[in-house]
Amino acid sequence: MSEPRTISELLDAAERVLSDSSHIFEDHDNRMEAEDLIEFVLEADLDDLDDDEIPSRREREKYLALVTRRAAGEPFPILVGSIEFYGMTLEVKPGSFVPRPSSELTVDRAVRRLRKQMKSRKKPVVVDVCTGAGPIALAIAAELPATEVWGTDIDAEGLAQGRRNANLLDIDNVTFRKSDMYKAMPKRLKGKVDLITGHIPYVPPDEVADLPAEVKDHEPLFTLSGLSKDGLGLIRTAVQQAPEWLVPGGWMLLEISEDMVPKVQRICAKAGFEDHGYASDEDDLSVVVEARLPR
């Protein structure tokens, strides 16, 4: 086959290569990624370009090299250095967990719960445990500037990215702290936290090998797996320790996969939480279990 030259040939070739890749999740929109990558390389909006336009040789080579890296499993946000998340552009670097659009559901649910709390609490406190690079913490803080948001994680690289994005976006009501769960949180916040969010590792260790390369080769194992046999060890710890930090009536929102809902709801019930069901988005990529301490 001849070398793709026009924009439409380049897009078709890229979509084919991405669709044939076994290193990335099957449910990605490959056409959209091919289009986003060409916009990235040409620094132009596709709507402003003609299908039969021929980019320079250097641009074509750069584009095809990026497509090859993507097909080999490099996460899209790492290739382009950023991700759009809840209306913000977050810088993304390799070395920690890459924020996922599916976590926007956690932000939606948290903001909804917090808006109600704010009728009686003017400055609610939020903790995002296992915050990684902080997308959930940053989005809640940006959406509700009156909140005091904390993000905790054991991963210094993720936390550095969170702090950098907070600076770039001028978000000053979020604090990132290196901490095993809540351990390094200020003691003054015990019993004062209104809501805890957690996108906590939950992949059972023996299922990590089945993940595509874009996850298992590019994100550290400790960001993916709960390390207990059922994968839920870290969720258990986060839920068991939460009541010590929450106000009566405080919320715990956990982003997990749908098959884990009954188990996670049992973990919450055992720790004294009332069950408030779970929310899912239209793609069902992840769900958010909602639990509340009795008032």
Ligand X SMILES: C[S@@+](CC[C@H](N)C(=O)[O-])C[C@H]1O[C@@H](n2cnc3c(N)ncnc32)[C@H](O)[C@@H]1O
Q: Which residues bind ligand X (CB under 6 A)?
A: 96-97, 99, 103, 130-133, 135-136, 152-155, 158, 180-181, 199-201, 222-223, 234
The residue among 117 and 225 lying less far from ligand X, judged by its C-beta, is 225
What length does the chain have?
295
Q: State how far the alpha carbon of 154 is from the alpha carbons of 89, 114, 180, 268, in Å.
A: 24, 26, 6, 23
CB of 18 to ligand X, least distance (A): 23
Judge whether 124 and 192 are in contact, CB under 8 Å.
Answer: no
The residue among 4 and 158 lying less far from ligand X, judged by its C-beta, is 158
Q: How do beta strands 193-198 and 125-129 pair?
A: parallel
The residue among 97 and 176 lying less far from ligand X, judged by its C-beta, is 97
CB of 51 to ligand X, least distance (A): 36
Q: State how far the alpha carbon of 215 is from the alpha carbons of 33, 52, 67, 129, 264, in Å.
A: 17, 35, 17, 21, 23
Judge whether 161 and 91 are in contact, CB under 8 Å.
Answer: yes
| Residue found by looking up tokens 């380049």 in the block | 10
Q: Taking Cα atoms as reference points, which of 223, 162, 235 lies closest to residue 197?
A: 235
CB of 89 to ligand X, least distance (A): 15
The residue among 55 and 201 lying less far from ligand X, judged by its C-beta, is 201
CB of 129 to ligand X, least distance (A): 6
CB of 3 to ligand X, least distance (A): 38
The residue among 117 and 152 lying less far from ligand X, judged by its C-beta, is 152
